[in-house]
Structure 1
């Protein structure tokens, strides 16, 4: 938990400060032409996404779940309704008009919809006291919460893969963003499924 929390803290310390000034000129994501609300939707996504990523770190902390179940439930509600759901809805909206091209836009929308569906499925399973299903869906929701962080982490690999093949700087950036986005979604889905499958199954007669 400590290394994961440290990585998230470094990511937030790098990503959030430019948007605290409310200055569109400092945005790291260029606004598409004719979409004046883009910056403010981006701010909303960052606000809700910060709540989600901090909340989900607390939610997957085994000690907190085991010793403080009431806190786990309350933080879970904050994660779902003040974090993941609004962040995913806004992410799908601004992702659809991504300035990094139609492929990245499609990846962003798919990732946002997966995040939304996994989170809602996990919340419903918890409400219905299907705790095994709740755990599975929430692990997948956690994976999609990490999508932006994972995309940034894989960006150097994306550039290494496209640099020998593309000379134009703009096209290189678009291609690297596409590669890192695709690799992020695939990596997170595969890792979350591996985590779910790695636990030994109980004996049939138990």
Structure 2
């Protein structure tokens, strides 16, 4: 049994808040799409595109699976004590969550009506999510588990970026709203699209930077050893 498995869940103070945040976000975001009524959609579908809304619903549902299972993937005690459960939820995360949600995200992002900046951000975010997830899966299949953990941590960060983007949108809207008549020429829709753009660009960047910072901090450090006489620059005569 590893030291990680002996740490009680309450000694990981971020586990419960993470799950509560994910549960609150999903409880707020998902129900409108369970009605399968386009009028309830939080994203305005492009005119004349009948495929957009069904694929958006699929993206939301697959994304829900990804966010729910990702919480267990990053829970150290669950990984250590329930190896089979970790593998099962990992496969669910990849095959019924991240990969289909990422593929559908490319379509949803390409057809967004929120402007070119949001379009590019959504395409880049979905492509990165797919890439890091596939690399993480490949590392697991190769049994390179340390690298697998690093890449899947990045996948987790991108999965959670949608929730952070909604949080960032709030202060962005507060800051930009007074500038509607000046910076945006009275165009309130352009202001909203700009605020949305700030969220979808900034959230994955911040979470990826935070994730890699945490991963670097947790890297095992090489033990320090006293320098040998040969390597210390001691003259040869003194070593005889």
In the other structure, the counterpart of 1:68 is: 82
2:36 to 22, 33, 39: 22
Q: Is the 8 A contact 1:59 1:72 kept in 2?
A: yes
In the other structure, the counterpart of 2:171 is: 157
Q: CA deviation at 1:189?
A: 1.5
In the other structure, the counterpart of 1:31 is: 45
Q: CA deviation at 1:164?
A: 3.5
Q: CA deviation at 1:198?
A: 1.6
Residue by residue over 1:3-51, the C-alpha shift from the partner in whole angstroms, topping out at 9 and shown as x without a partner, is: 0000000000000111111111111100012211110000000111011
1:195 to 205, 210, 214: 214
With the length of structure 2 as denominator, give the TM-score of the two structures: 0.83
Structure 1 stretches of 4+ with a deviation exceeding 3 A read none
Q: Aligned equivalents of 1:41 and 1:87: distance in 2?
A: 9
Total equivalences in the alignment: 206
Unaligned runs of 5+ in 2: 1-14, 182-186, 226-240
With the length of structure 1 as denominator, give the TM-score of the two structures: 0.96
Given the superposition, is the C-alpha separation of residues 205 and 126 from structure 1 closer, same or farther in structure 2, using an over 3 Å criterion?
Answer: farther
1:180 to 196, 199, 207: 199
Q: Is the 8 A contact 1:115 1:145 kept in 2?
A: yes
1:112 to 126, 131, 134: 126
In the other structure, the counterpart of 2:229 is: none
In the other structure, the counterpart of 1:89 is: 103
Q: CA deviation at 1:204?
A: 5.0
Q: Within the alignment, does 1:134 sit opposite 2:148 as a pair?
A: yes
Q: Aligned equivalents of 1:17 and 1:200: distance in 2?
A: 40
Q: CA deviation at 1:137?
A: 0.2
